[in-house]
Amino acid sequence: MSTIKNVNPLKVITGPDTRWSYANVWEPKSINGGTPKYSVSLIIPKSDTKTVTKITAAIEAAYQEGASKLKGTGKSVPALSLLKTPLRDGDTERPDDPAYQNCYFLNANSTTAPGIVDGDRQEISDRSEVYSGLYGRASINFYAFNSNGNKGIACHLNNLQKIKDGENLGAKASAEEDFASADEDDFLA
């Protein structure tokens, strides 16, 4: 007996070498007074052609599915190349940030909290385990939008799976590091 798997062309699971940046996954935050959202920037190595190909196909599928929304009151659907799309080139848009070199990136967000699990699919509840800079997979969906004169394809954040630790991208010195060799003279400076 064969099992038929229903494949959603708008959904992508990124590869395990995807790095998380600006990981705002525990509490929703409002940007410029907008609806509070959970969000993460997903940094995808250009060498991960499998993930990049899946994302490109999902963006195309979202464009096709959302054609009537993208057309709006206009006479025709704008070409996909003219619309805002979520997959961006780190080499051109973030040339001074080494974390984005030789990578693509996209920002995914949601009004509902993502599920967050480890490599064994066990829920992670310790917030210190999830930070900007770690490597993991992301479950994301793509959809067309047309609001307030802006049209394009956006990325929705579903769930996250931590695969391995990485260098913290939002690194600040720990209290232990700051005070490891503090000179007494600096205290009164």
User: Domain limits of the chain?
Assistant: 11-170
Token pair recorded at residue 108: 């995914």
Answer yes or no: are the C-beta atoms of 92 and 139 closer than 8 Å: no
Whole-prediction pTM: 0.86
Q: Could you tell me how many helices (H) and strands (E) the chain has, helices first?
A: 5, 8
Burial of 78 (0-12, 13-18, 19+ CB in 10 A): middle
pLDDT of residue 148: 83
Which string of DSSP letters, residue by residue, matches 70-128? HHTTSSSPPPGGGSB-S-EEHHHHSTT-GGGTTEEEEEEEESSPPEEE-TTSPBP--GG
pLDDT of residue 177: 61
pLDDT of residue 13: 97
Q: pLDDT by residue (tens digit) across 162-185?
A: 999 999 987 655 566 666 665 555
Nearest CA-CA partner of 108 in 149, 55, 148: 55
Backbone angles phi, psi at 141, to 5 degrees: -125, 150
Dihedral of alpha carbons 93, 98, 104, 110, sign = negative
Answer yes or no: are the C-beta atoms of 160 and 117 closer than 8 Å: yes
CATH number (3.40.50.1220, 3.30.70.560, 2.40.50.140, 3.30.565.10) of 11-170 reads 2.40.50.140
Which stretches in the chain have pLDDT values below 50?
A: 189
